[in-house]
Amino acid sequence: MRPMTQTRLPSGLGFMKMHGAGNDFVVIDSCGRPTPVVTPALARALGDRNRGVGFDQLAEIRDSDQADFALDFWNNDGSRAGACGNATRCVSDYMMRKLGQDRVSLVTARGALSAVRLADGRVSVNMGEPQLDWASVPLAQAVDTLHLPLAGDPVAVGMGNPHCIMFVEDAEAVDLPAVGPGYEHAPLFPQRTNVEFASLTGPDRLRMRVWERGAGITLACGSGACATAVAAHLRGLTGRKVILDLDGGVLEIDWREDGVWMTGPVAHVFDGTLPPEFLAAHA
């Protein structure tokens, strides 16, 4: 895969479309640019699946003095996302190829992270330690994060963004559009929250479905898979190494001493260029 050369006018702005287990992204490589190019308006326009490109999250790659690169994340409603595990894996794969190496370091709003490509082509990323106290999730008040005072007895876990995890008898039976928004906007979560529903399907194996803040139903959520695995272990349902079956594929989570590692597939679908007229209309 060759590095993309991207410019604004007159030739437009290059981008990549990627996905990890069906969790899909627009990726813009802004390395070498003095300032980021993504704005809330551009993120909303690009995220429109009818009038733009469509994505669950947008990732902009930037230069970093502390790591191989930095990443900024956006939701398709134009809001910022603090973390996006599957996008991190996909972009890390691209950057490993671009830099000619099998591991990379990166910086996000979550902090310093690292990623490595495995022999089978999958990519693992260390998403860092989970945030387990109420203030760092964050929650609006001091409560027991293992048993939130909400219907369904959910668990709260932060992975650079907040997660509300419920363990149910059958995740397939949950009506995500009906119940997801209520939890996303619950007053207990001042920054809104991602919402995961998981059921135990075997030893150290979970079926998980997700409603993401600012995106709605997605086929997979990497930070959500990490948060769900952490919550399952803390509830005594699983060990620290868990396989999660999501709508779009399988992710493996391993909560190690140095952080929560997530492993899964990556796919580079296509490259494209946004024309000057589109950029001018959504500046």
The closest alpha carbon to 46, from 215, 265, 226, 162, belongs to 215
**Angstrom distance (rounded) from CA 268 to CA 95:** 12
Run of H or E including 227: helix 222-234
**Angstrom distance (rounded) from CA 203 to CA 238:** 7
User: What does DSSP say about strands 103-108 and 69-75: parallel, antiparallel, or unpaired?
Assistant: parallel
What separation in angstroms does the CA of 176 have from each of 86, 110, 179, 204, 217? Answer: 21, 27, 5, 24, 7
Note if 221 is an active site residue: yes
Quote the tokens at residue 227: 């948060």
Among residues 90, 164, 221, 226, the one annotated as catalytic is 221
Note if 31 is an active site residue: no
Among residues 31, 84, 90, 164, the one annotated as catalytic is 84
Side-chain-facing half-sphere of 278: CA atoms under 13 Å: 18
Burial (CB < 10 A; 0-12, 13-18, 19+), residue 42, is buried
User: What does DSSP say about strands 13-20 and 57-62: parallel, antiparallel, or unpaired?
Assistant: unpaired
Which residue has tokens 């140095």? Answer: 258
Q: Beta strands of 138-248 (E only): which ranges? A: 155-158, 162-167, 194-202, 205-212, 216-218, 241-246
Q: Which residues belong to the active site?
A: 84, 221
